[in-house]
Amino acid sequence: MNTTFSTSSSLNKEETPLNQFLQEVSALTKRLFLQLIRRPSTLIAGVLQPLIWLVLFGALFANAPVDFLPGGMEYGRFLGAGIIVFTAFSGALNAGLPVMFDREFGFLNRLLVAPLRSRSSIVVSSVIYISTISLLQCFAIMSAAFFLGYGWPSEGGVFLVFLTLLILVFAVTALSLGLAFILPGHIELIAVIFVTNLPLLFASTALVPISFMPAWLGWLAAINPLTFAIEPIRAAYSSSTGLGSVLIQAPYGDINGYGCLLILSLLTIGLFLVTRPLLNRKLI
Amino acid sequence: MLLVELHNLEKSYGSVLALRKLTLEIPKGTLFGLLGPNGSGKSTTLRILCTLLEPDSGTVTVAGENVLKNPRNIRSKIGFVAQEVAIDKILTGRELLQLHGDLYHLRRNYRDKRILEMIDRLDMAEWIDRRSGTYSGGMKRRLDLAAGLLHEPELLVLDEPTVGLDIESRSKVWSLLRELHTEGTTILLSSHYLEEVDALSDQMAIIDSGKVIAQGSPSELKKELGNNRVTLKVREFSNQVEGEKVRQLILGIRGVHDVVVNTSQGFSLNFFADDSDSLSKMRSDLNEAGFGIFSLSESRPSLDDVYLKATGKTLMDAELEVSSKRDFKKEAKQSMR
């Protein structure tokens, strides 16, 4: 059996760099999905948790006065957008954990001794994986909200929901992967996730509008990235407001839907630019 | 022709110097053994060669190419089997091999053909489709070897390939390495087992405190020491002073060389004698000086003697010495990327 002589036919040399890159990305993505399918508990919990939020939190304010929210909106309908964004945010914030475990167990070394066309395939596969899960979770929440009588996005609204979510997920995944490469271990990463998660939820418009908040918290909510994702999605659920209308009445001025998406996109680009050198330091 | 050239490698972790101007040259087609106690810099050397680590200074050349400048080209030529067996427990062995093949850009049908060859060769058919989390140490190591060999590397690098393995798995690994060697693959393996390096390698280097202290074929290195390795005890329990006295006495005898007082063996004397004349001269000299002979044994020189001669301590002692100083947590962090 001939096993040792390196022949040029053995490698995909005639393939273009792009094809090699795609081969890496699909192999790494496949690994992540195999893990998910064989250990589905995270996905099941990831879908159940937001549904519980939606039901319990929705019920908490079910008997609020009719003009409780601006425009007489039902609380459950108001809350839906917040839960969708918060779920996607938490999921993406955890994106760094598998990479951190790969670092700790030495599996990452396996990837790093391989002649990867670009080591960003490790990042891309994580983004694909997290995005898919987020969209699945989002779809589950939207369906649940529909059956609870909280409505369904207007025409083109579903597209807007998914677009907004993806931009947010890219940003947070970049952040989390960056952290996974600079923090010393998973304990520290989990600590960061823990400290970031709930405060960002409460200091956003996920649960109540800015008008409810004391001035200082209103300021925080008006610069919180979650708010910029929540409001366009909320608009997608409303028949009267479009992307052109003012969605955030921030202390520093009014922002419409396009403004929200622009700010979110700039944040994503910024985070990828900041994270890049962190990744490159480890991933030459 | 040299396949691997490491020149003047230096590497430190904080204040700890791991490599001090290490230079190593590996001819194509050899099975090269890197012998040294734990913590001597073997793993660091291999990690630098496999592009996992950048040296502070020095050059690394594989097949004429500068590894530090163009790591990607080298990676496809090297198969690395690391010491710590990190596998994704949730994947089956076959899926892990497929992942490897894809990361090395093998064409799909070629990849699958190679996987079948490896399953056959390493006798993995029975368990390859089971999740790797259920594998024993020997099975994991075989899977790791298969992964390292999948892309037909010019150079196979193994870090302590048989550490912690049962005898059966060990002999499987040994015979595979021998086969690969006869087929022409250049193999570099590190080990702190003397027998392993002695039995397998045709060229070897002894590495201690981050530098190469002896290099050659195992038989050459042993031959350099002389014909007889002698262990002498003048009393059952001797001491440093007496040992030193005896050392001075027999140092002057023609044909006797490399006399060491072995503190770990009750201050016995270890030395090499070229012929029987020098031994009988030693007996009469000892007698004259009033020393008795409690025991005297002769044997062929071993690699441990080569190590003892170069460093003044046995490999076992060196091992014990470092093991008390090692910080495994720190080392784990160092290998983390």
Residues in Cβ contact with A194 at an 8 Å cutoff, skipping those fewer than 6 apart: none
- Render pLDDT for B136-154 as a digit per residue (tens, 0 to 9): 888 999 999 999 999 999 9
The domain locations on chain A are 17-282
- Render pLDDT for B23-57 as a digit per residue (tens, 0 to 9): 999 999 999 999 988 888 999 999 999 998 899 99
Q: Which residue of B has its CA nearest to A112?
A: B52
Distance from CA of B78 to the nearest CA of A (A): 8
Q: Which residue of B has its CA nearest to A20?
A: B105
Residue A283 confidence (pLDDT): 56
Task: For chain B, give the mean pLDDT.
Answer: 88
Cα dist from B300 to A163, B224, B271, whole Å: 76, 12, 12
Partner-chain contact A103 B73, CB within 8 Å: no
Partners of residue A12 in chain B, C-beta under 8 Å: 105-107
Partner-chain contact A27 B102, CB within 8 Å: yes
Residue A14 confidence (pLDDT): 59
Residues in Cβ contact with B239 at an 8 Å cutoff, skipping those fewer than 6 apart: B267
Residues in Cβ contact with B3 at an 8 Å cutoff, skipping those fewer than 6 apart: B26, B27, B28, B29, B62, B63, B154, B155, B186
- Render pLDDT for B81-138 as a digit per residue (tens, 0 to 9): 988 767 899 999 999 999 999 999 999 999 999 999 999 999 999 999 999 999 988 8
Does residue A269 sit in helix, strand or coil? helix
pLDDT band at A3 (very low <50, low <70, confident <90, very high): very low
Q: What is the ipTM of this complex?
A: 0.85
Q: Is the pLDDT of residue A1 over 50?
A: no
Partner-chain contact A7 B107, CB within 8 Å: no
Partner-chain contact B82 A110, CB within 8 Å: yes
Domains and CATH numbers, chain B: 2-216 (3.40.50.300), 226-300 (3.30.70.100)
Q: For an interface test with B, which of A1, A15, A23, A35 has the most B Cβ atoms less than 10 Å from its Cβ? A: A23
Residue B77 confidence (pLDDT): 93
Q: Is the pLDDT of residue A24 over 90?
A: yes
Distance from CA of A280 to the nearest CA of B (A): 12
Partner-chain contact B183 A31, CB within 8 Å: no
Does residue B291 sit in helix, strand or coil? coil
Greater confidence, B310 or A44? A44
Q: Which two tokens stand for residue A275?
A: 């994270």
Contact (Cβ atoms closer than 8 angstroms) between residue A235 and residue A70: no
CB atoms within 10 A of CB B249: 18
- Render pLDDT for B219-231 as a digit per residue (tens, 0 to 9): 888 877 777 888 8
Of B90, B117, B152, the CB nearest to A6: B152
Q: What is the percent of chain A where pLDDT is above 90?
A: 56
CB atoms within 10 A of CB A283: 19
pLDDT band at A114 (very low <50, low <70, confident <90, very high): very high
Q: For an interface test with A, which of B104, B149, B177 has the most A Cβ atoms less than 10 Å from its Cβ? A: B104
Q: Is the pLDDT of residue A64 over 70?
A: yes
**Candidate from A22-26, A54-58, B181-185 with smallest mean pLDDT:** A54-58
Q: What is the percent of chain A where pLDDT is above 70?
A: 93
Partner-chain contact B153 A6, CB within 8 Å: yes
Residue B49 confidence (pLDDT): 95
Residue B124 confidence (pLDDT): 94
Label residues A253-272 b or e (16+ Cβ within 10 Å = b): eebbbebbbebbeebbeebb
Q: What is the percent of chain B where pLDDT is above 90?
A: 47
